[in-house]
Amino acid sequence: MRAIDRCRGCSGKGIEPFFDLGMQPLANALARDRAAADPVHPLSLSWCPDCGLVQLNHTADPGELFSEYVWVTASSSTAKAYAERFCDRVLDLAGDAVRGGYVLEAASNDGTFLKPFQARGLRVLGVDPARNIADLAVADGVPTENAFFGRKSAERIVSEHGLPAVVFARNVLPHVADPHDFVEGLRLCAGERGLAIIEVHYAKAILDELHYDSIYHEHLCYFTLQSLERLLEAHGLFAFEAMISPISGGSVVLFARGVRAEKGPVLAGLESAERAEAVNDLARWREFADKALRHRELLVGLLEQEAEAGRRVVGYGASARSSTMLNFCGLGPDRIAAVADQNRLKQGFFTPGTHIPILAPEQVMAQGPDTVVVLAWNFMDEIGDLLWDRFGFRGGIIAPLPFPPRKTDIREVRGG
């Protein structure tokens, strides 16, 4: 781990620490040996008084984090449905110019978000640093290069393929150790006329709904519109509209070009809300840290009640964000017997640090649990339907977030 001494976004030197989540394992470093101790690293946040960027105080080696990966976009039906809506909005804003070019995605994972463009007859190209995931995409018919995206790779792509009509980067910029290099790559690909699109887990949603579980070593930055637009404008990209995404429990998508334009109603409205609610102020983020400590008390209390009542509790969704929550709250197999996850790349391993077995949903639900903690709570509707329809589950549900954590009945989750 390398400690930072200045802001990742604006290079300001006065960053102020405000939230320490303790020593934690890498969130996607699934444990193979239940008896062995996992390596842990500092996990804490600072705030920049110059641009308002909230960021981690330490940087992990990107090669260790991303050269092999376990998240596969297609494993989420929510993501696949959103990919269609995303495509329609992009084509609406890009206009006819996209027909003469191609669509490029940086950090394209398994190609799920490029497939809708292919289905509409457009050429596509993906770029992803994880060899195993890039190979999956290629095998599924999505042209994908195995590389880290940045200025050098962008120059090579433009030299070999020409300028894309659209370049987009979803849920990746916060992961990048050098955001300036990444954004410069986007600018080079967008050229003077192309459309550049950036989607990030929105810091306002993180703040408002206490998404502290989204804080882990892969996520180096937590962008508001103010901090993100400042970064883009430093490289000649200017946001002109936005949309809200369901991904990560609340993400924002910025549409930008190489020339300034009048801001659309969605972007203007979001910017106004940020100012009115002081989203970029340190005081709000100090409140966030205090509230996370209170959340820990409440969630641990709920699970202690389940144990005292003799109920069998399991989890659903071995997401990276669940690793932060489980370790921050000190929840292990004595409180959660197993975690179900339909991603086969995760099955047979143990949760990082807390060492809860990760099994196929069929195996976990066959154990007859009384209560399911939906650790991947940002997919609550999808998981609730699956538990009800596929497994006939009629027991209790613990929704850890949004704050406060609560126990309910699965019938309530499914709307009765």
Q: Residue 66: which pLDDT band, with cuts at 50, 70 and 90?
A: low
Identify the CA nearest to 312 among candidates 365, 383, 248: 365
**Between 317 and 1, residue with greater pLDDT:** 317
* pLDDT of 218 strictly over 70: yes
In this prediction, residue 286 carries a pLDDT of 98
| pLDDT tier for residue 97 given thresholds of 50, 70 and 90 | confident
Q: What is the pLDDT of residue 284?
A: 97
- What does the mean pLDDT of the chain come to? 93
Q: Which fold has domain 303-413?
A: Rossmann fold (3.40.50)
Which residue intervals of the chain bear CATH 3.40.50.150?
66-280
> Per the structure block, which two tokens stand in for 218?
């892969």
Task: Enter the CATH code of domain 66-280.
Answer: 3.40.50.150
**Structure confidence at residue 100 as a pLDDT band (50, 70, 90):** confident
- Per-residue pLDDT band at 79 (split at 50, 70, 90): confident
Q: What pLDDT is recorded for position 360?
A: 97
Cα dihedral 229, 230, 232, 238 in deg (nearest 10): 60
Query: Residue 67: what pLDDT?
Result: 53
Q: What is the pLDDT of residue 215?
A: 96
- Tokens representing residue 64 in the block: 């260790």
pLDDT of residue 72: 59
Is the confidence at residue 416, as pLDDT, over 70? no
What are the structure tokens assigned to 14, written together?
């006065």
Owner of token pair 């937590």: 222
User: Which pLDDT score is estimated for 98?
Assistant: 81
**pLDDT for the residue 52:** 95
The long-range contacts involving 136-141, CB below 8 angstroms and separated by at least 24 positions, are: 136/72, 136/110, 136/111, 137/108, 137/109, 137/110, 137/111, 140/110, 140/111, 141/111
Whether the CB-CB separation of 254 and 231 falls below 8 Å is answered with: no
Residue 37 has pLDDT above 80, yes or no: yes
User: Structure pTM?
Assistant: 0.88
Mean pLDDT of 404-410: 94
Can you read off the two tokens belonging to residue 107?
Answer: 């950090």
pLDDT, residue 192, reads 84
pLDDT of amino acid 117: 96
In the chain, the percentage of residues whose pLDDT exceeds 70 is: 96
What would the mean pLDDT of 217-226 be, rounded to a whole number? 95
The distance of Cα 338 from the centroid of its chain, to the nearest Å, equals 23
Residues 27-44 have a mean pLDDT of 91
Question: Which residues make up the CATH 3.40.50.720 domain(s) of the chain?
Answer: 303-413
Higher pLDDT, 222 or 379: 222
Q: What is the pLDDT of residue 361?
A: 97
For residues 323 and 317, is the Cβ–Cβ distance under 8 A?
no
* 58 confidence band (pLDDT: 50, 70, 90): very high
Higher-confidence position of 74 and 312:
312
List b or e across 196-210, with b for residues whose CB sees 16 or more CB atoms inside 10 angstroms.
bbbbbbbbbbbbbeb
- pLDDT, tens digit, for every residue of 109-149? 999 999 999 999 999 999 998 889 899 999 999 999 999 99
Kind and range of the H or E run holding 302? helix 282-308
**Per-residue pLDDT tens over the stretch 225-267:** 999 999 999 999 999 999 999 887 789 999 999 999 999 999 9
Contact, 51 vs 12, CB < 8 A? yes
Do 278 and 344 meet the contact criterion of CB atoms below 8 Å apart?
Answer: no
What is the per-residue pLDDT for 247?
A: 82
Q: What is the mean pLDDT of residues 378-397?
A: 94
